Structure 1
Amino acid sequence: MKLVYITNGINGSGGLERVLSIKASRLVAEYGYEVHIIVLNNGHLDPFYNFNTEIFFHTINSNRKGLFFLKDYFVKIKKMVNQLHPDIVLVCDDGLKGFFLPKLLGKKRPIIYERHASLAINTGNRFYGGLMRKLMRFLAADFTHFVVLTPTNVKEWNSTNIIVIPNPLTFYPKSSASLTTKKVILVGSQSYVKGYDSAVKIWSHVGKSHPDWELHCYGKKDSQNRFQNEAQKSAITQMYFHEAVKNIEEKYLESSLLILPSRSEGFGMVLIEAMACGVPCIAFDCPSGPSDIINNDEDGRLIENGNISAFTDALTSLMSNEKKRKEMGLLAKRNAQRYLPENIINQWNDLFKATLQ
């Protein structure tokens, strides 16, 4: 069976790229699929994650802007897909343009959309954000299947073609974090959506009461260093900002807690990765993902979305209670097993076979 994935690029360090590397590689190696990935402007060069060498990459190049870019993009996408003659097309693009591909490509073959972000990310100002959400919901019905990551995501779309398939784990180490180090970890692009401004506020309180603890942040840096500058202006110590690293598993294993102060998530890949390493997680109950992954007060803590004070209290409580951290860590590692790749990739294989019946 031949699959064609359409995405913007696979050379970033985000969750979409990480999941696609795992899924596409296993579909080739373990299920015998022929997999092609179409990217924009050579977005396949120097990938951050490893992809199976038998995957075929294709690029659509365009230096045009606005509507001229969209016209160029759609013409070239249609031509390339028709040349490849796939059995199934899969769209991995959280922007608006990917929603128009069923109308562009027609009904010659099944087209499956993979949503890797909450609809809440497409907000902007009230008028524009509301218009975007309505348009996306309307266009979502054109896909053969619309795959979301959690049951909570289903409620955002109100469509009959929705299927839930969560992300697979990247790793599941035999060892677990000792949870004795005085290190907290935050993983994700250093941005407003990921709540880095909230992390600075939280650590401004936590750092004072626990000066011997450290917060290490890993992710694509903000070009203006806004959050790092905020931390410096607030005289916050023991908060360190790092670029994304490929050996993030090692960083989880060195940590005792993970925090996720995001305003929205499509899933929360970092939650299941940390849990696989036996690290308890504290997250805002944002749309969508954390509440589907974390069992509150069992393997982690869910905090009312945006409540800085409650987040700070939960974090300091677990920093002060090694016994509770270890109890949560054991449950977190066990509960993360439901996201093992062999369980998730098989769901995709079943979906592809059922789609072509």
Structure 2
Amino acid sequence: MKIVFNTDQIHLHGGIEKVMATKANYFAALPNVQVIIVTTDQQNLPPRYRLDSRITLIDVGVNYERTKSYFSLTNIKKAVKHFRKQKALFKTLKPDAIISPNFNFDHYWLPFIKGHSLLIKERHNSRFFEEKARKTASFLKKIKYQLLDWTEAHYDHIVVLNKDEAAYVKTRNAVVIPNPIETSTLWADINQKQVIAAGRISPVKNFGDLVKAWQQVQEEFPDWQLHIYGEDYLGTKAILEAEVMQKKMENNIHFKGSVSNMLEVMTGYSIYAMSSKTECFPMVLLEAMSVGLPIISYDCPNGPRNIIDNGEDGYLVRYNNVENLATELKSLMRNTNERARLQANAKKNVQRFTTEMVMKQWEELLNLPHV
């Protein structure tokens, strides 16, 4: 069987890139399975995550101008090039299955150039806010949503990461398969006076609420530290750093940049904190649980509640409530025994999402023989 992963790039840090590498490596190790990753914007850069040597990499060299609108003249011309090269490539490759894990121009034409391939779209972002926007959409936006739904009806499957997101698929072809996580023998040191948060430093991650909460936290715990990991996005980091300086918390809050060994880094912390506006199925929570790191997270739509067993391996706090976030952080920081209990449960509960468990669902979806 020939499986094509169709995406923009595999050189950046990110949940989509990490999960795709895990799945591609799993498939490549199966007998009689050939895996190909087709990219549009790789720009001769190496893959960010380890890939099995049996995987073939093909870049069609479109290289969209990401600082410009998709509908700029420059990118429209590139989209035409993309369509032609991709159509010719798929005609040559004749894949049995095409898996597309992100949203690109080709979302709208893949169903019509796939040939006889099984075509699967993965949704890695929550459609919670889109669902709300549909209810008050203008006439033109309603036409846009209708076009989107019509296109997605021509996919064989729309894979969503949790049952809440399945409700946003209008085309009755939704399949729920969560992200996988590889098991880890590492354990977080829950006696450290440090809290970790991670993710692209962008508005949707809402680290600003975590900074506000920490202003209350450090009044009682001045010897504790908050470390935030991730790449800057559109200058968001500078805004947060200015807020930290203004509130005189620069000795307690530190931005640590991106790392390639997140699991090892997580072992130096006692608590993982998440204050996102929305999350679909955040890999970072699975990583935290895999090393037994207790979690405090906003109950944001819709990922955390589908990962965290509230009160058992972490705590879900009221959405967009800084006061509640600070209160729960302080409560867990006071109680080492509670952190130990959550740690043990996290290590056990994360087994629901192991690579072996999740990839069996993918094998069934692709009608692969079990080995």
Fold equivalence (TM over 0.5): yes
Supply the distance in 1 between the matched residues of 2:94 and 2:155 (Cα, whole angstroms).
Answer: 18
1:117 aligned to 125, 131, 145, which one? Answer: 125
Residue 207 in 1 paired to residue 218 in 2? yes
Shift of 1:134: 5.2
Pair 226,130 (structure 1): closer, same or farther in 2 beyond 3 Å: farther
Aligned to 1:154: 166
Supply the distance in 2 between the matched residues of 1:313 and 1:222 (Cα, whole angstroms).
Answer: 29
2:178 aligned to 131, 151, 166, which one? Answer: 166
- The alignment's TM-score, normalised by the length of structure 2, stands at 0.89
- The within-5 A match list for 1:123-272 is 131=142, 135-169=147-181, 171-222=182-233, 224=235, 225-236=238-249, 237-272=251-286
- SS of residue paired to 1:186: strand
Residue 89 in 1 paired to residue 102 in 2? no
Q: Percent identity?
A: 30
Aligned to 2:19: 19
| Structure 1 runs, 4 residues or longer, greater than 6 Å off | 123-126
Shift of 1:137: 3.6
Aligned to 2:361: 347
Supply the distance in 1 between the matched residues of 2:31 and 2:231 (Cα, whole angstroms).
Answer: 33
Supply the distance in 2 between the matched residues of 1:122 and 1:61 (Cα, whole angstroms).
Answer: 31
- The within-5 A match list for 1:4-83 is 4-42=4-42, 45-62=45-62, 65-83=74-92
Question: Is the Cα contact below 8 Å between 1:6 and 1:38 reproduced in 2?
Answer: yes
Pair 4,100 (structure 1): closer, same or farther in 2 beyond 3 Å: same
Kindly provide the amino acid, as one letter, of the partner of residue 39 in structure 2.
V
Question: Is the Cα contact below 8 Å between 2:5 and 2:37 reproduced in 1?
Answer: yes
- SS of residue paired to 2:204: coil
Supply the distance in 2 between the matched residues of 1:98 and 1:231 (Cα, whole angstroms).
Answer: 41
- SS of residue paired to 2:300: coil
- SS of residue paired to 1:157: coil
- SS of residue paired to 1:156: coil
Supply the distance in 1 between the matched residues of 2:333 and 2:194 (Cα, whole angstroms).
Answer: 9
- The alignment's TM-score, normalised by the length of structure 1, stands at 0.92
CA deviation vs aligned residue, 1:210-266 (integer Å, no higher than 9, x gap): 111111111112353222222222222311111211111111111111011111112
Supply the distance in 2 between the matched residues of 1:305 and 1:134 (Cα, whole angstroms).
Answer: 31
Supply the distance in 2 between the matched residues of 1:98 and 1:314 (Cα, whole angstroms).
Answer: 44
Question: Is the Cα contact below 8 Å between 2:111 and 2:155 reproduced in 1?
Answer: no
> What is the root-mean-square deviation of aligned Cα atoms in Å?
2.3
- SS of residue paired to 2:366: helix
Shift of 1:27: 0.7
Pair 120,353 (structure 1): closer, same or farther in 2 beyond 3 Å: same
Shift of 1:99: 2.6
- SS of residue paired to 2:196: strand
Single out whichever of 44-53 and 319-328 deviates more from structure 2.
44-53
